[in-house]
Structure 1
Amino acid sequence: MVLIKKYPNRRLYDTSSSQYVNLDYIKKLVTDHAEFTVVDSKSGADLTKSILLQIISEQESNDQQSLLTNSVLKQLIRYYDTDMQLFMRQYLEQSMAVFLERQDTLQGMMKDLVDASPLGLFNQIMEKNMKMWREWGDLDAPKGGEKSE
């Protein structure tokens, strides 16, 4: 578990690597599936959610990379302070988990499809040929201090 401390000057410090980091570093931890926590350096309060929201906010400011449309954001806001808030949180978590699982399955199927395509088969044949040629080249190479003529 990576522990990151946030100092009053708004700097973030990774205690495991003993270095100051930025939001891009935190984003990389997320994409690498690393477990981490961000805490306030003085109080020890957990600030992980606010840092994650800050990363999302920065990503959402670029319309080309935005995931959350105005419509989606409005719908999410409508669920706050309702009896359905807990249900919505669970639904979103489960939906994302299923989506990511299906995405991995789909990527595996696409890889298998590409490997089975004529281009994929040709690529496999070329890789085998290159390996054989390298091995044959190693057999013909002079050994130790021998000189080739």
Structure 2
Amino acid sequence: MSAEKRIIKKYPNRRLYDTAISGYITVAEVKQMVLEYNDIEVVDAKTGEDLTRQVLLQILLEEEAGSTPLFSNDVLNQFIRLYGHTSQSMLAPFFEQNMKIFQEWQKRAQAQAKGATPWFNPFAMGGAAPSLAEWQKQLQQQSMQFWQSMGVVPKDK
């Protein structure tokens, strides 16, 4: 994991220039940087405008167009319906925190499996199974707190 942010300049011809290596890179290489936990920032070479979100969404779109999408049509429809609602601002931190919890569980499970067993098979990991239960419990608690704060679920007395 790199502590320094990688600055990538995006030119009008859609080419990406990695200032750390002084060379052009592809979107696939940006994806690899993200997978390797590099902190990246993509900026417009001419205006300096932050284009990081645009490039990350492009990577997601390419992944979703692949053979096994992460989001079903139903989930995508629900996301679209959230835009413009007051709950939109509350959901972003909720999703972010849940992804962090999941990522921590995934790291622990992978470390315990030492690369020999897929992280998503808790029955094959022996010691990692309690981590799955812990992650699910954290996710459940956080979800309940969120829905209680929204007034959808009554608060415990």
Instruction: Give the TM-score normalised by the residue count of structure 1.
Output: 0.71
Cα distance in 1 between the residues matched to 2:7 and 2:73? 34
Aligned ranges 1:93-104 → 2 under 5 Å: 93-104=96-107
Structure 1 unaligned spans of 5+: 117-149
Query: Aligned partner of 1:46: which letter?
Result: D
Note closer, same or farther for the CA distance 1:115–1:72 as it changes in structure 2 (3 Å cut). Answer: closer
Cα distance in 1 between the residues matched to 2:30 and 2:100? 21
Q: Which residue of 2 aligns with 1:136?
A: none
Mapped pair 1:53 → 2:57: yes
Cα distance in 2 between the residues matched to 1:22 and 1:114? 36
What secondary structure sits across from 1:92 in the alignment?
Answer: helix
What is the aligned length? 115
**What's the % identity of the aligned pairs?**
41
Q: How well do the aligned residues superpose, as a CA RMSD in angstroms?
A: 2.1
Cα distance in 2 between the residues matched to 1:49 and 1:5? 13
Q: Which residue of 2 aligns with 1:134?
A: none
Mapped pair 1:38 → 2:42: yes
Instruction: Give the TM-score normalised by the residue count of structure 2.
Output: 0.67
Structure 2 unaligned spans of 5+: 115-123, 128-157
Residues 22-64 of structure 1: CA deviation (Å, up to 9, x unaligned): 10110011000001100001100000000000011011111x3
**1:4 pairs with 2, 8, 13, which one?**
8
Q: Which residue of 1 aligns with 2:90?
A: 87
Structure (1 or 2) with the larger CA radius of gyration: 1
Aligned ranges 1:123-142 → 2 under 5 Å: none
